[in-house]
Amino acid sequence: MSDVFNIRSVSQLNDLLSHDKVRHPLITIIDFSKISHYGLNSSRFSSDFYSIMLKNQCQGVLKYGRQYYDFQEGTLVFIGPGQVISIEEEPKSGDSNGWGLFFHPDLLRGSSLSGKMKEYTFFSYDTNEALHLSDQEKQTLSDCISKIEQELSRNIDQHSQTLIVSNIELLLNYCTRYYHRQFITRSGKNRDLLSRFEDVLSAYFDSEVVKTKGLPSVKYCASKLNLSPNYLSDLLKKETGKNAQEHIHYQLIEEAKNRLLLSGHSVSEIAYDLGFEYPQYFSKMFKKKTGMTPAEYRNLSS
Answer with the one of 85, 102, 131 that is the final residue of a domain: 131
Which of 134, 133, 171 is CA-nearest to residue 149?
Answer: 171
Which of 84, 50, 40, 87 is CA-nearest to residue 65?
Answer: 84
Q: Kindly report the CATH number assigned to the domain that includes residue 104.
A: 2.60.120
Q: Kindly report the CATH number assigned to the domain that includes residue 208.
A: 1.10.10.60
Residues 119, 16, single domain; the answer is yes
d(CA 150, CA 282) in angstroms, rounded, equals: 57
Name the strands in the sheet holding 85-87, side by side, starting at the edge strand that comes first in the sequence.
4-7, 44-47, 85-87, 62-64, 67-69
Which of 102, 103, 118, 108 is CA-nearest to residue 166?
Answer: 108
Q: What is the pLDDT of residue 126?
A: 75
Report the domain count for the chain. 2
Q: What is the pLDDT of residue 262?
A: 86
Is the Cβ–Cβ distance between 104 and 26 less than 8 Å? yes
pLDDT tens digit sequence for 102-121: 999 999 999 999 999 999 99
3-class secondary structure, 201: helix
pLDDT tens digit sequence for 266-279: 999 999 999 898 99
Residues 19, 121, single domain; the answer is yes
The answer to whether position 160 is within a domain reads no
All residues at 6 or more sequence positions from 178 whose CB lies less than 8 Å from its CB, including other chains: 131, 133, 137
Highest mean pLDDT among 6-20, 33-47, 86-100, 142-156: 142-156
Answer with the one of 90, 111, 131 that is the final residue of a domain: 131
The answer to whether position 118 is within a domain reads yes
**Which of the pair, 2 or 246, is modelled with greater confidence?**
246
Residues 13, 108, single domain; the answer is yes
The answer to whether position 173 is within a domain reads no
The answer to whether position 250 is within a domain reads yes
Is the Cβ–Cβ distance between 279 and 285 less than 8 Å? no
d(CA 268, CA 281) in angstroms, rounded, equals: 10
Q: What is the pLDDT of residue 113?
A: 96
Backbone angles phi, psi at 180, to 5 degrees: -65, -40
25 membership: H or E segment, kind and range:
none
Phi-psi region of 157 (alpha: psi -120 to 50; beta: other; left: phi over 0): beta
Residues 217, 111, single domain; the answer is no
User: At residue 242, does pLDDT exceed 70?
Assistant: yes
Residues 118, 29, single domain; the answer is yes
If you average pLDDT over residues 134-150, what whole number do you get? 94
Buried b (16+ CB within 10 A) or exposed e, 74-93: bbbbbbbeebebbeeeebee
The answer to whether position 79 is within a domain reads yes
The answer to whether position 151 is within a domain reads no
Q: What is the pLDDT of residue 95?
A: 54
State the pTM of this model.
Answer: 0.71
Residue range of the domain that includes 70? 4-131
The answer to whether position 236 is within a domain reads yes
User: At residue 155, does pLDDT exceed 60?
Assistant: yes
pLDDT tens digit sequence for 75-88: 888 999 988 776 55
Buried b (16+ CB within 10 A) or exposed e, 8-22: ebbeebbebbebeeb
The answer to whether position 182 is within a domain reads no
Would strands 50-57 and 97-103 be described as parallel, antiparallel, or unpaired? antiparallel
d(CA 282, CA 271) in angstroms, rounded, equals: 6
Residues 105, 193, single domain; the answer is no
Q: Which residues, listed in sequence order, are joined to residue 31 by a DSSP beta bridge? A: 99
User: At residue 71, does pLDDT exceed 70?
Assistant: no
Q: Which residue type, as a one-letter code, is found at position 258?
A: N
pLDDT band for position 187 (cuts 50, 70, 90): low
pLDDT tens digit sequence for 16-52: 876 677 788 899 998 888 776 555 555 677 889 999 9
Is the Cβ–Cβ distance between 27 and 107 less than 8 Å? yes
d(CA 137, CA 143) in angstroms, rounded, equals: 10
User: At residue 70, does pLDDT exceed 50?
Assistant: no
